[in-house]
């Protein structure tokens, strides 16, 4: 019986997976054109699965070598000659198990024996030419985990050798196509070259054509995977509806799609409540994707600052492809660029990043206030949200208003939303979760959705800009409630007007819906 897989390569005969035939066909055309290119995506984004599909589906047309630099020690890439030898030995290993052409096996057995230590650039070019001449089909090279070797001078020179052969391919036979896969783009690797303290950017692979294929999983593709599951298990899944939910929470990130489906399968609940429970489990677990994402945020301060500004202050910085923080965030698939702006890749990832940032401030006064008073907010299996807003308003004003009654405008604009999230974190921790609606976030308003024991609360947080602006905000929230099919919504207005008393305002009614507002 097939299963959902989150550990390693997905294989159709073993795992439920989205059909990637369309993606492979695009790559097939690129290979037919003789393109050399890079597949750069974040961790567990389907790179290896894609390479394996290429290797299997193109083997009738091409002599395909699928190798990986993972586990190959740095010593092999200290100079070009040892890198050339390591590459040929990997080809030899691959040919032993997958290549049916005896001539190819014999050539590699002869030129790449087990103890081969070095091959100079002239011999390397001749060996590649011989290999490509003797093969009955054009030779295609797929190299996974290339960034494992990227911190070495020998690796750069190895790529330079492949590049030189590509440029001279009309007179010297060489590979039909070379595909490099990894997280980092080898055209922009930050390399430690010569003295340890010197760094420079190098572009040894400027022959590569752009690879703009969307590798996220669409709702249609996820539905097809769930159709396969339903055909095997007959549990009555509405595959189209569940696929839309999964896509909504994961943004089509392959690992998150598989993990979410895996979790719903394990709990045997494919309802919307089952989805929310699965999301809650994921947000509270450690896994390789989240661990790597947090490590990257800690490793790159500019990336950390960019994400903090975006999430807490609502700063709509214009997307800049030349800015390193944007490059890294996009390269790790943490953000998606959209029409000159950007957004976090998906709800689950965004909430996990929020949690990471707020965990750094668990000793703050507002967090402690929420933690101490949390039991009074539990009402049945839900939350007494009006009381929660009332108490938040009181605590916020006690903590952050000065003796003269004023409040730091810049602080509130930058920190107001963050302080509310810190307040609710200990209240919903372990039972509920939240996410911020990306489409409505800007510098003046944010729509926050809290799920608690499968109850959903819609809360808008905004900066008070006057009565007319507030009325407009109420209308927007009523429209949003209608869209979300909720009868009650909540509004938190951060106000700097001394004449406005903090606390709850009388409820506002419109078309059978109620709005409860708290002034902070």
> Strand 455-463 to strand 503-504: parallel, antiparallel, or no bridges (unpaired)?
unpaired
Q: What pLDDT shows up at residue 206? A: 86
Q: At what angle do helices 239-250 and 347-359 cross, to 10 degrees?
A: 40
42 near 183, Cβ under 8 Å?
yes
Distance (Å, whole) CA 1 – CA 15: 8
Q: What pLDDT shows up at residue 273? A: 92
Q: What pLDDT shows up at residue 154? A: 86
Under DSSP, the state recorded for 505 is P
Q: Grade residue 316 by pLDDT with cuts at 50, 70 and 90.
A: low
Query: Does 18 score more than 90 pLDDT?
Result: yes
Distance (Å, whole) CA 21 – CA 404: 67
Average pLDDT over residues 394-410: 76
Cα 98 to chain centroid distance, Å, stands at: 33
Query: Does 187 score more than 90 pLDDT?
Result: no
Task: Kindly state the greatest CA–CA separation across the chain.
Answer: 88
Residues 6+ apart with CB under 8 A from 425: 355, 358, 367, 370
Q: What pLDDT shows up at residue 198? A: 43
Share of the chain above pLDDT 90, in %: 61
Burial (Cβ within 10 Å: 0-12, 13-18, ≥19) of residue 425 = buried
Distance (Å, whole) CA 389 – CA 219: 36
Query: Does 192 score more than 60 pLDDT?
Result: no
Query: Does 148 score more than 90 pLDDT?
Result: no
Average pLDDT over residues 407-418: 75
Query: Does 191 score more than 50 pLDDT?
Result: no
Distance (Å, whole) CA 401 – CA 404: 8
Nearest-5° angle of CA 81, CA 84, CA 86? 110
E-strand spans in 411-474?
432-436, 445-452, 455-463
Query: Does 435 score more than 90 pLDDT?
Result: no
- Give residue-wise pLDDT tens across range 459-506: 988 887 777 777 877 888 888 888 888 899 999 988 876 667 788 999
Query: Does 195 score more than 60 pLDDT?
Result: no
Indicate the helix (H) or strand (E) that contains 34: none
219 near 243, Cβ under 8 Å?
yes
Q: What pLDDT shows up at residue 441? A: 55
Nearest-5° angle of CA 400, CA 383, CA 469? 50
Indicate the helix (H) or strand (E) that contains 491: strand 488-494
Distance (Å, whole) CA 454 – CA 381: 9
Q: Which of 7-16, 79-88, 408-417, 437-446 has the lowest mean pLDDT?
A: 437-446
- Give residue-wise pLDDT tens across range 98-134: 767 788 888 898 888 877 889 999 999 999 999 999 9
Q: What pLDDT shows up at residue 199? A: 45
Q: What pLDDT shows up at residue 314? A: 61
Query: Does 197 score more than 60 pLDDT?
Result: no
Greater model confidence, 444 or 267 = 267
Query: Does 2 score more than 70 pLDDT?
Result: yes
Q: Which of 391-400, 437-446, 448-457 has the lowest mean pLDDT?
A: 437-446
Average pLDDT over residues 436-458: 77
How far is CA 53 from each of CA 17, 133, 516, rounded to the nearest angstrom?
12, 25, 54
The DSSP bridge partners found for residue 65 are 141
- Give residue-wise pLDDT tens across range 40-95: 999 999 999 999 999 999 999 999 999 999 988 888 888 999 999 999 999 999 98
Backbone angles phi, psi at 448, to 5 degrees: -110, 135
Distance (Å, whole) CA 457 – CA 404: 35
92 near 108, Cβ under 8 Å?
yes
Q: What is the mean pLDDT of the chain?
A: 88
Nearest-5° angle of CA 393, CA 395, CA 398? 110
Q: Which one, of 198, 200, 113, 184, lies nearest residue 149 by Cα?
A: 184
Average pLDDT over residues 126-145: 95
Q: Grade residue 272 by pLDDT with cuts at 50, 70 and 90.
A: very high
Average pLDDT over residues 311-331: 81
Q: Grade residue 253 by pLDDT with cuts at 50, 70 and 90.
A: very high
323 near 254, Cβ under 8 Å?
no
The DSSP bridge partners found for residue 382 are 379
Distance (Å, whole) CA 93 – CA 90: 5
Average pLDDT over residues 340-363: 88
Reported residue count of the chain is 520
Between the ranges 102-111, 262-271, 425-434, 451-460, where is the mean pLDDT highest? 262-271
């Amino acid at each position: 019986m097939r299963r959902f897989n989150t550990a390693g390569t997905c294989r159709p005969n073993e795992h439920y997976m989205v059909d990637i035939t369309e993606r492979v066909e695009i790559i097939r055309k690129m290979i037919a054109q003789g393109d050399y290119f890079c597949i750069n995506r974040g961790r567990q984004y389907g790179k290896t699965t894609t390479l394996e599909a290429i290797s299997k589906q193109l083997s009738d047309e091409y002599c395909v070598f699928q190798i990986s630099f993972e586990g190959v020690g740095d010593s092999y890439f200290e100079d070009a000659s040892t890198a050339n030898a390591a590459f040929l030995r990997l080809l030899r290993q691959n040919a032993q198990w997958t290549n049916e052409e005896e001539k190819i096996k014999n050539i590699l057995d002869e030129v790449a024996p087990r103890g081969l230590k070095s091959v100079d650039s002239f011999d390397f070019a001749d060996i590649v030419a011989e290999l490509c001449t003797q093969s009955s089909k054009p030779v295609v090279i797929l190299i996974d985990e290339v960034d494992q070797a990227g911190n070495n001078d020998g690796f750069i020179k190895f790529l330079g050798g492949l590049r030189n052969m590509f440029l001279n391919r009309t007179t010297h036979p060489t590979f039909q196509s070379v595909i490099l896969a990894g997280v980092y783009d080898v055209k922009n690797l930050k390399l430690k070259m010569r003295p340890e303290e010197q760094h420079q950017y190098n572009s040894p692979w400027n022959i590569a054509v752009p690879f703009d294929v969307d590798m996220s999983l669409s709702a249609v593709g996820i539905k097809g995977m769930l159709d396969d599951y339903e055909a095997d298990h007959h549990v009555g899944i509405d595959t189209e509806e569940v696929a839309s939910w999964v896509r909504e929470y994961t943004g089509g990130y392959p690992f998150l799609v598989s993990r979410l489906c895996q979790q719903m399968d394990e709990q045997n609940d494919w309802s919307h409540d089952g989805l929310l429970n699965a999301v809650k489990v994921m947000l509270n677990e450690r896994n390789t994707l989240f661990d790597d994402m947090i490590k990257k945020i800690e490793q790159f301060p500019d990336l950390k600052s960019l994400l903090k500004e975006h999430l807490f202050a609502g700063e709509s910085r214009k997307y800049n492809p030349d800015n390193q923080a944007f490059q890294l965030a996009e390269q790790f698939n943490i953000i998606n660029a959209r029409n000159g702006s950007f957004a976090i890749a998906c709800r689950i990832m965004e909430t996990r990043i929020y949690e990471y940032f707020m965990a750094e401030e668990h000793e703050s006064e507002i967090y402690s206030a929420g933690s101490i008073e949390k039991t009074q907010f539990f009402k049945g299996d839900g939350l007494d949200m009006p009381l929660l807003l009332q108490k938040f308003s009181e605590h916020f004003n006690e903590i952050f208003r000065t003796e003269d009654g004023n409040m730091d405008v810049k602080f509130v604009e930058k920190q107001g939303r963050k302080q509310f999230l810190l307040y609710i974190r200990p209240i919903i921790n372990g039972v509920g979760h939240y996410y911020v609606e990306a489409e409505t976030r800007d510098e003046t308003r944010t729509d926050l959705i809290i799920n608690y024991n499968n109850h959903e609360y819609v809360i808008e947080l905004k900066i008070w800009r006057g009565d007319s602006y507030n009325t407009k905000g109420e209308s927007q929230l009523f429209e949003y409630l209608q869209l979300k099919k909720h009868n009650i919504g909540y509004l938190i207005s951060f106000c700097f007007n001394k004449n406005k008393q903090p606390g709850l305002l009388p409820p506002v009614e419109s078309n059978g819906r109620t709005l409860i507002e708290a002034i902070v």
